[in-house]
Every structure is written in C-alpha cells, then in structure tokens.
Chain A
C-alpha cells in the first residue's frame, strides 16, 4: 500500500480568505474578554477583515498560485471575485453597524457569521476542485441560514431562515449527488482532470446527468428560475443587511463557481449546454420581471428584480467565450454595488412600526429626505440600465456578447425585459418624487457608516458607468486563465 503523501502546506494562495477567517476568530475571541468592550469593536474588526482581505487580494493580482493539489486556485478569476465579494462584505458591515443597534439584534455572532460567509464566498471563487466547491458553498450557506433568522422574535425572519435552510439543504444534496456522479464518470473531482476526461468522451451519460444535477444546486444558489421559489420570502423576511449580503456576495460566489465549473470542465466540448442555459436565461429574466411588476413590498420587488438580473447574467454565460464570461463578471461588479446600495437605503429608512419596506412608505420621500431619495433613485436608474450609470454598461456588455455570439433573439428578449422592468423601478421613483407625503412620515435613521456605504456605492456606479474601460480590461484578464 502506498504511503499517503501530504501535499505541501502553502498558505499564500489562501491568504485573502484567511484574513477574513482570522477576523471572524478574533470577533469570537473578543466575546471572551470579561470587561465589556465598546460596542463598535467587533464591527471594526469585521470591517478591518474585509478591507485587509481586499488589500491581500489586490497585492496578489496577476500572480496566479495553486495549492493543496490544485484544490485551491488563486488566479485572476478568483481575485476578481474576491474584490467583488470583499466590497460587498465591507458595504454590508458598514450598513449593519447602526442598523443592528437600532433593531436590537447586535451580537458578536452576527459579525463572525458575516465574516465566515464571506470566507466561504471567496473560497468558492478559488475552488479548483468540486469537493472544495461543495465545502465552500456549505460554509457560506450555513452561515447565511443562521443570519437569515437573526431577528429571533420575528415570525418572518424565522420563516426565512427555515425556508432558506430546508430548500438550501435540498439543493446542496443535489449538488453533492451531481458531484458524486461526475466523479463516477471521470474518476476525479479536480476540474482540470475532469475536463481532460470529458474531452475524450464528451457525451458520457453519467457525466451529463452529474453536471445537470450540479446545475440544479448552482441554479438554487444563484436563484435562477425554476429554483427561485425561496428568494422572495427569504429576501423579505431576513434582516435587510443580510438580504443585501445574500443578494450580492452569495450570488457572486455561486456565479464564480458556476462559471469556473462550466468553462473549465466543458473546455473541449461542443457548446451543447448553451441551449439549456439559453432557456434558463430567458425564463429567469422573464419570470423575475413579470412577477416583480406586481409587488408592493420593496424588498420583495428587489428580490424578484434580482432574479431578473441573474437572467441577464446568464445571457452572458450563454454567449460564452472571453466576451461573455467577462461580461458576467463586469455585470456582477456593477450589480453588487447597485443592489447593496438599494438595500442600504432601505436599512436607513424607518417608520414607527419598524422598517420602511412597503412601496407606499416611500411616498414623498424626496420632499423630506432629498439626498436619500436621490440615492435610491440613482440606484434604481442604474438597475434599469440608464446611461451613464454602471447598470447600463453592464447590460450593454452582456447583450453585446450575446449579439456577437449570434444570440440575437436572446438579446431581444433581454432588452424587452429591461423595458418592462423600467416600469416597476420607475414606480418607486414616482412614489418618491411625484406624490405628496401623506400620513406619518418615513424618518431617516441617521448613520454615518450607512451614509459612507451609500456614498461608496454611488461613487462606484458612476465611475463604472463613465469610465468602465479599465474595469472591463480587468474582467477580461480575469477570465483569460479559464479559457486558455
């Protein structure tokens, strides 16, 4: 029997993830300190963890590294996603600070769980092996299940956590079963070696079924139709800061793994899978937008709109190639800032009975809080895709990739969806700007950290909209290693 050879322990490629994990451990350890620390300390540690990870990521740009027998691949692709995820994490930490204090849900576990979830997302982006994909996905998901139920006294929050957990566990088991079948078909869980095995026998039924089942798991995590049923309830019930994290970071992580698995394993295969993705993209954006039209709850509306945006991103995945994949990356970057910002505004709006989540709560907001209304307005316009904001460039890039690859009709479906979506986004603007406030007013929960987060998001979507070229170049550099 061969002796087990341990791979050398190279922590370098894990550095960004480790920074976040370490911050999580510090937050937990701080709880053990007998003397009460100022309340801000855990939040500051969490923020430091996110920023530290961001810096660690930026330092490693263009120095690809692999570790643990290629289980962890820290190439530009992973680093790009790390940037997106760290920004999402940092924004969420900033938004949560005063939000948690106000809602009385402040605890060290919150910060630790946010950090662990973020670590899971980052690891997901760097996973070069299906086992790591699964582990990272679980690290992320389990943390998020708990976070969704943070408001222990609220029924909706409990419902959100329960629903998210049950359906999420179900999806994870699909993923795991799929991984098992892929392993059975190819004899390996390493993505590169799977690619080699698949190139030899592209239509091996076991592999096709296995990959199909993993697609179910990923479809759930990125919330594409028909695996989206959990989204509205979880987004609505979970604390808004957690919703923002689920909508941005977890989606980015899941997309990272999905793109890597699909592009790497199917590298040498004719693009049969595009048809499946085509249908998924068309159905996802249409269902998301059509159902969003009927929503009166802002969080729920943004939930359906996020489903629609997943549809747009899938369009880029259908298009494939450097253009398509980098379009998805760029879209995720713009989407993260926009969506985090939109949810961020909700965390800052307060009413007597709690959060301002109904559309009607925003009636006449422009009169009372013009800056807040303008911020939400700009985020919504970016979600519609109005130039010169980031959302427009994202859509332009994605649909451009589709047209280039010859998917005209998918692009047409996409743009018609965008036009329909304008209706429900504009409706919020109608409420804020074109109706007079009535009844009790929505108040602005003053928060320096929250304001800072919104300012960063606003700046980002304007910069990404006006000078997108450098970021597009980064996205293209990021997908290049996958498509060698």
Chain B
C-alpha cells in the first residue's frame, strides 16, 4: 500500500485537466491535442503501478481510500481496486490515449471542448469502476452520461442529435429506477443494522431476504445495467449511438461504456441480490443467447461497416452476460476477460473503420473492394483485428469465449450449444465483410489512390495489436489477477443463497 492516493489521482487527473482546459483561452488546436494526449498518457502511466502493484493473492480491495464526505447521508468517499475492476481501469486508461490520438486529424471543430469533454468522460468512467460507495458510484454513473451525450451530439454524424438524445433517455430511465433501488437497499440495511451507509463492503455482507422486494430491487438494478450492456431487447440505442458517434466516441463507447453494464452485474447484482440473480438467471441466460444469435444475424446483413461492428457488439456482450450468469469460475473469469477482449477488438475495429472513413468518407462495404492491392499494411492489420473479433485461437477473443462456453456447458448444455453457433456466425459476418472490402479487384476508382497507414495510425494500432496477441498467447497474465476475487464472489453468492444450491 503506497501512501500516495494513487486511485484518486488516476481517477481525477483527466477530469481536472479537462476542466482546466475549458478555462484557458482558445489556443491552437495542435497544442490542445498534444496537451490532452499527454494527460491521457500520463494517466495510463500512473495507472500502471496499480496493475503491477496489485497482489492477485489478496481477496478484497487494494489501494483503498476512504474519507468522510456526507456523514448525514451515510455517504463516504470510498474507492479501491479489486480483481474485477483492475482490468477495466487499465482498459479505460489504455484506450483513452488511443481514442484521443485517433481524433487528431478527424475532429477539427471546437477542439478545445472536444478534448476537455473526453478527459472529463474518462474521469466519469474511472470513477464508476473504482467506487466502493453506492452513492459515489451512482454519481459517476450519471455524471458520465453528459460528456458522452455531448461527444455524440456535437461531434457526431448527420443524425447525431437523435442518437444522442436516445442514448441519454434510454440510459436515464434505467438508472433512475436503479436510484430507487439503491435507496431501498440503503434503508433496508439501515433498518436492519441501525447503521445507515452506502459503503459497498458493508452492504454486501448483509443478506437481503429473498422474495418480492429483492426481486424488484434486482430488476431495477438489472434494467439499468441491461440497457447499458446492452442486453437484447434493450439494445436499440446502441446502433444509433455507434453509427453517429465520432470514431473516438465509438471506441470509448464500445471499449469502456458498455463494460459498465456488465461490471454492474458483477459488482452489484450478484453479491447484493444473489437469490434474485439465481431466480432470474435463466431469463438473463436466454436473453443473452438470443442477443448472441440476433446480433450476429443482424450484423451479417449490414451494408455499413460501422453498423456491422455495432451489432457485433450486441452479440459479443451477449457472451459476456452468458459468462457472468453461469455463476461458475470459468464462466465468470471468461466473462471478465471477454469484457477486456471486446474493448480491444471492437475498439480496434472502430479505429480502423474510422481510418478508412477519413480517407474515403464512406463506410459502405459496397464502396470498397480489393483494398489489399492498394493499402496492404492496413489490410494486414485489419485481418488480425477481424480474426481477433471472431475468436481465432491464438488471439484474445478465443480465450474469453472458450472459458464462457466451458462455464455455460456446465449450467445448461443446450443453451451453450446455441451460443456456440454465435461464434460460427461471427466468422461468417466478419470474414464476409473482410472479403468484400479487402479481397478481389479494385472496383471503385476512388479507392485506387488511398494512402496506407500513417505513422500516427501505426502508433495507435500497434499497442492494441500487441495486447490482442499477448492475451491470446498468455492469458493467465490477466486472468490470474482476477481469479481470487471471482472465487470469493462465487463463494459469497453461494453462502448467501444457502446450501440448497
């Protein structure tokens, strides 16, 4: 344990820098871009000690900080890291510099506001992952909406306003109901123990009586998270938001924001409402499998690459949900690692679709063909990312999906079998898209003069690809950090639901 409040520094550094940037007078765009990128990189560097200093043997929270904030409400400023949040924090700090760098050439309008909004957004996302106080969590969860709303609504595509408003309203309906459930948990705990607190480590020790109240609270939490994931049938905001958002926004949306939903299930739904989680488990299981297959089918027929990637997220996040609700070691670890994988692979896909869009101002698959002959380096990297997304063994996607299916077979072989078809369809839509875009003859004259990857684009893509291969080849470097926490979570759920399960 270092004396330095590392988690707070990492969390608030980007946001404070963002606010400071808003206050400085307008300066040249490249200075602003460089400063914001430097802040994001610094945040990532500062988050590395958290990763390397994290002791995988310790069950419970590390790098904890706790301060009084609002004693009247039972609210404290309590942050910390455990095996569940560690990888997501790192994923966030890792993706943000890449997203900012990708926007270097594509965002020209109101650059100052853009970089400031992105940095504030980073603080919001990190806050969600590190909060160990339910109130604090909710503050970040809600506050994070607004910067994303601006990113989509101000810097997005032609239909951006519709997409931005839809995104906020969808999320808000879910999170508002969660607020009532949070209050219900708070008062139920307070009435039972005489101590009113939002502190998660205390709240999870409390066993909420199974029954209607717990079911309703679970449903309120689950709705908020399911919308964010998004779990079928709450996914309809996602394609709009992804298609309209600028590339940097899509990367963050797919890479980090969606993970907040699955993280919420892991962090709050399972330990707080174990009985309801078991009760509604089959339902979530079914929806996840429907999402996997539905997302894959709809992806197959998309004419727009960005939309294809967006729907493939629905499918991939279905796998994550499947893994979480297996409630066994393989499934949960697989789900967690799949969150990271999806962040990397889909983030990279959005980055590359964005790069090609910058060159051609089109994302329609039909507008491309034969890119291999024109831009071989791009095509080669695109192939790696495509294969990672469809789960080729040796790359990251395979590890997560394999573990999830392993877990799912123990719970329900039929469902698992159905889910497995999702992997096959993933190969269909990804490879078919790749084939139409990259192979064959150059069909359009506009594509003949496309420039290959620039140095900046190489710099953005190489770190992602390195991680994709690293996780694929040596996954235990990452899964090892989470296993103790996951085991503790499972035994906690089991002890709460009693020996009958």
Q: Which residues of A contact B (CB under 8 A)?
A: 381, 386-388, 392, 396-397, 399-400, 403-404, 408, 411-412, 415-416, 418-419, 422-423, 426-427, 430, 433-435, 467-469, 472-473, 476
Q: Does B71 contact A (CB under 8 A)?
A: yes
Q: Are A399 and B168 in contact (CB under 8 A)?
A: no
The interface-forming segment of B31-39, B177-185, B439-447 is B177-185
| Interchain CA distance A415-B179 in the complex, whole Å | 8
Given known pairs A399-B180, A400-B183, A416-B173, the reply for A433 and B150 (CB within 8 Å) is: yes
Q: Report the minimal beta-carbon distance from B398 to chain A, rounded to whole angstroms.
A: 40
Known: A387-B142, A433-B150. A472 touches B70 (CB 8 A): yes
| Chain A CB within 10 Å, residue with most, of B164, B172, B186 | B172
Is A419 a contact of B172 with CB atoms below 8 Å?
yes
A430 to B146, CA, bound (A): 12
With the chains together, A411 CA to B173 CA distance in Å? 13
Q: Are B72 and A430 in contact (CB under 8 A)?
A: no
Closest chain B residue to A410, Cβ basis? B180
- A-B pairs, 7 with minimum CB distance: A415-B176, A387-B139, A403-B183, A469-B70, A419-B172, A419-B173, A434-B153
Instruction: Check if B409 is an interface residue, CB within 8 A of chain A.
Output: no
A416–chain B nearest beta-carbon distance, Å? 7
Q: How far is the CB of A269 from chain B (nearest CB, A)?
A: 25
Which residue in A396, A400, A426, A476 is a CB contact (below 8 Å) of B168?
A426
**In the docked arrangement, what's the CA distance between A386 and B143, Å?**
6
| A403 close to B165 (CB less than 8 A) | no
Name which residue of chain A comes closest to B142, CB basis.
Answer: A387
A386-B146, A388-B143, A472-B73 in contact; A422/B169 too (CB < 8 A)?
Answer: yes
Residues of B within 8 A of A468 (CB): 70, 73
Question: Do residues A430 and B70 form an inter-chain contact, with CB atoms below 8 A?
Answer: no
B69 at the interface (CB under 8 A from A): yes
Please give the distance in Å from B480's CB to the nearest CB on chain A. Answer: 36
Contact assessment for A399 and B179 in the assembled complex, using a CB-CB cutoff below 8 Å: yes
Q: B146's closest neighbor in chain A, by CB?
A: A386
Cβ of B161 under 8 Å from chain A: yes
Check if B145 is an interface residue, CB within 8 A of chain A: yes
CA distance A426 to B170 in the complex (A): 13
Determine whether the beta carbon of B143 is less than 8 Å from that of A387.
Answer: yes
Across-interface contacts of B169 in A (CB, < 8 A):
419, 422-423
Q: Which residue of B lies closest to A475 (CB)?
A: B72
- Per a CB cutoff under 8 Å, which of B70, B140, B142, B177 touches A412? B177
B382 at the interface (CB under 8 A from A): no
A472 to B183, CA, bound (A): 17
Residue pair B142, A392 in contact (C-beta under 8 Å): yes
Q: Which residue of A lies closest to B135 (CB)?
A: A396
Q: Would you give the shortest CB distance from A350 to chain B, in whole angstroms?
A: 25
Q: Is the interface of A mostly helix, strand, loop or mixed?
A: helix
The interface centre, meaning the residue of A381, A415, A427, A435 with most chain B CB atoms within 10 A of its CB, is A415
B154 partner residues in chain A, CB cutoff 8 A? 433-434
Most buried by A among B140, B142, B160, B179: B179
Which residues of chain A are near B71, meaning CB under 8 Å?
469
For the complex, what is the distance from the CA of A396 to the CA of B184, rounded to whole Å? 12
Known contacts A386-B145, A430-B161, A468-B70; A412 and B150 CB within 8 A of each other: no
Residues of A within 8 A of B180 (CB): 399, 403, 408, 411-412, 415
Given A386-B142, A386-B143, A422-B168: A416 touches B176 (CB 8 Å cut-off):
yes
**Do B73 and A387 have beta carbons less than 8 Å apart?**
no
Q: Is the CB of B183 within 8 A of A399?
A: yes
User: Which A residues are in CB contact (< 8 Å) with B173?
Assistant: 416, 419
C-alpha gap A209/B73 in the complex (Å): 38
Give the distance to chain A from B374, nearest Cβ to Cβ, in Å.
36
Residue total for B at the interface (Cβ-Cβ under 8 A): 33
Taking the closest CB of chain B, its distance from the CB of A353, in whole angstroms, is: 27
CB distance from B382 to the nearest CB of A (A): 32
Give complex CA distance A426, B180 in Å: 23
Contact A388 B176 (CB under 8 A): no
- C-alpha gap A399/B220 in the complex (Å): 15
Q: What are some 29 contacts across the A-B interface (CB < 8 A)?
A: A387-B138, A388-B139, A392-B142, A396-B135, A399-B179, A399-B180, A399-B183, A400-B186, A400-B187, A403-B183, A403-B187, A404-B183, A408-B184, A415-B177, A416-B173, A418-B176, A419-B173, A423-B165, A426-B165, A427-B165, A430-B161, A434-B161, A467-B70, A469-B70, A469-B71, A469-B72, A469-B73, A472-B73, A476-B72
**Distance in angstroms between the alpha carbons of A392 and B69 in the assembled complex:** 16
Q: Is the CB of A422 within 8 A of B183?
A: no
| CB-based nearest A residue for B155 | A434
Q: How far is the CB of B219 from chain A (nearest CB, A)?
A: 12
Instruction: Using known A-B contacts A415-B179, A419-B172, determine if residue A472 contacts B142 with beta carbons closer than 8 Å.
Output: no
Q: Nearest chain-A residue to B191 (Cβ)? A: A404
**B149 at the A interface (CB under 8 A):** yes
Give, as a whole number of angstroms, the nearest-CB distance from B109 to chain A: 10
B153, A430: Cβ atoms closer than 8 Å: yes
CA distance A415 to B184 in the complex (A): 14
Chain B residues closer than 8 Å to A403, beta-carbon distance? 180, 183-184, 187
Chain A contacts for B139, CB-based, 8 A? 387-388, 392
Residues of chain A lying within 8 A (CB to CB) of residue B143: 386-388
Cβ-defined contact, A430 with B183, below 8 A: no
Which A residues are in CB contact (< 8 Å) with B179? 396, 399, 415
Most chain B CB within a 10 A radius of its CB, from A381, A434, A476: A434
Q: CA of A412 to CA of B177 in the docked complex: distance in angstroms? A: 7
For B164, list chain A residues within 8 Å (CB): 430, 434
Residue of A nearest to B178 (CB): A415
CA distance A387 to B143 in the complex (A): 5
Asked if residues B72 and A473 are in contact (CB atoms below 8 Å), the reply is yes
Complex Cα gap A435–B161 (Å): 9
Bound form: Cα–Cα A376–B157 in Å: 25
Closest CB of chain B to A330's CB: distance in Å?
11
List residues of B (124-164) whose CB comes within 8 Å of A's CBs: 135, 138-140, 142-143, 145-146, 149-150, 153-154, 160-161, 164
Give the docked Cα–Cα distance between A468 and B71 (Å).
10
Could you tell me the distance in whole angstroms from the C-beta of B88 to the nearest C-beta in chain A? Answer: 21
Of chain B, the residue at the smallest CB distance from A387 is: B139
Nearest to A384 among chain B residues (CB) is B172
Question: Which chain B residue lies CB-closest to A472?
Answer: B72
- Pairwise interchain contact A411-B70, C-beta atoms closer than 8 A: no
Name the B residues within 8 Å of A392 (CB-CB): 139, 142
A221 to B387, CA, bound (A): 67
Residues of B within 8 A of A476 (CB): 72
Q: In the complex the two chains form, what is the Cα distance from A381 to B71 in whole Å?
A: 25
Known: A411-B180, A415-B179, A416-B176. 11 other contacts (CB 8 A): A386-B145, A387-B139, A387-B143, A396-B183, A404-B187, A418-B176, A423-B165, A430-B161, A433-B154, A469-B70, A472-B70
A418: chain B residues at CB < 8 Å are 172, 176
Task: Write the chain A residue with the least CB distance to B217.
Answer: A408
> Whole-angstrom distance from the CB of A158 to the nearest CB of chain B?
38
Closest to B177 in A: A415
Chain B residue with minimal CB distance to A374? B22
A84 to chain B, nearest CB (A): 19
Tell which of B138, B146, B176, B183 touches A381, judged by Cβ atoms closer than 8 Å. B146
Report the minimum CB–CB distance from B190 to chain A (whole Å): 8
Q: Which residue of B lies closest to A405 (CB)?
A: B187
Q: How far is the CB of B7 from chain A (nearest CB, A)?
A: 18
Q: Is the CB of A411 within 8 A of B168?
A: no
| A64 CB to nearest B CB, Å | 22
Alpha-carbon separation in the docked complex, A473 to B180 (Å)? 23
Contact mask for chain B residues 43-72; partner A; CB cutoff 8 A; 1 contact, 0 none: 000000000000000000000000001111
Nearest A-chain residue to B213, judged by Cβ: A408
Q: How far is the CA of A427 from the CA of B145 in the complex (A)?
A: 15
B 403-446 contacts with A by CB, 8 A: none
Chain A positions within 8 Å of B70 at CB level: 467-469, 472
> Which B residues touch A387, using CB under 8 A?
138-140, 142-143
